[in-house]
Amino acid sequence: MPYERALAKAMRYCSFQERCQLDLTNRFIAWDVKKENFDKLLDVLIADDFLNENRYVEAYVRGKFRIKKWGKNKIKMGLMVKRVYDEKLFNTVVETEILEEDYLKTLQTLIEKKSLLIIESDEFKKRDKLYRYMLGKGYESELVSKESNVIDY
């Protein structure tokens, strides 16, 4: 694909939602863009503010917590997979986008809903399944242990 067409498609692609460099690189491969144009395209997109990693991290954290109800650990791992994880930026965004009371409320709600869905006669097995589920959602083990002990099975 020619450079100009790839740039126009990339600008349109970035205008729909926030993207990261990995998303665009994968898209360039799918569009059969020449590898020597990848860096030039990314530089133009960054200069024109179509591509902004800070905005991407903010949108990612906000979306994964509010929509998918992910915990901080899973969000952090998702950013690492996308190759945009920066600890300082992540901590700042998490402090501004995820309020502690909302985080705990979401954790409690997920625990309550999941505990009703787990059909297990043995209380220890049920607690273990719930614990593993919440760790899989990315919540911290200390918080899960503390909050799941409050719930009556």
With a pLDDT cut of 90, the percent of the chain lying above it is 33
State both tokens at 95.
């402090």
Asked whether the predicted pLDDT for residue 149 surpasses 80, the reply is no
Kindly report the pTM of this predicted structure.
Answer: 0.82
**Cα 125 to Cα 5, 130, 132, distances in angstroms:** 57, 9, 10
**Are the CB atoms for 78 and 63 separated by under 8 Å?**
no
Per-residue confidence (pLDDT) for residue 91, from 0 to 100: 83
Over residues 12-20, the mean pLDDT reads: 90
153 pLDDT band, cuts 50/70/90, is: very low
Asked whether the predicted pLDDT for residue 117 surpasses 80, the reply is yes
Asked whether the predicted pLDDT for residue 129 surpasses 70, the reply is yes
Write the CB contacts of 46 (distance below 8 Å, at least 6 apart in sequence).
Answer: 52
Asked whether the predicted pLDDT for residue 152 surpasses 60, the reply is no
State both tokens at 98.
């995820």
> Which has the closest alpha carbon to 76: 88, 66, 61?
61
Q: What is the pLDDT of residues 24-77, one digit of tens each?
A: 999 989 988 888 888 899 999 999 988 989 899 999 999 999 999 999 999 999
With a pLDDT cut of 70, the percent of the chain lying above it is 97
- Angle at the Cα of 71 (from 67 to 73), degrees rounded to 5? 135
Mean pLDDT of the chain: 87
Where are the domains positioned within the chain? 3-47, 53-98, 101-150
Distance between CA 142 and CA 145 in Å, rounded?
Answer: 5
| Residue 140 one-letter amino acid | E
151 pLDDT band, cuts 50/70/90, is: low
**Are the CB atoms for 144 and 134 separated by under 8 Å?**
yes
Over residues 69-97, the mean pLDDT reads: 88
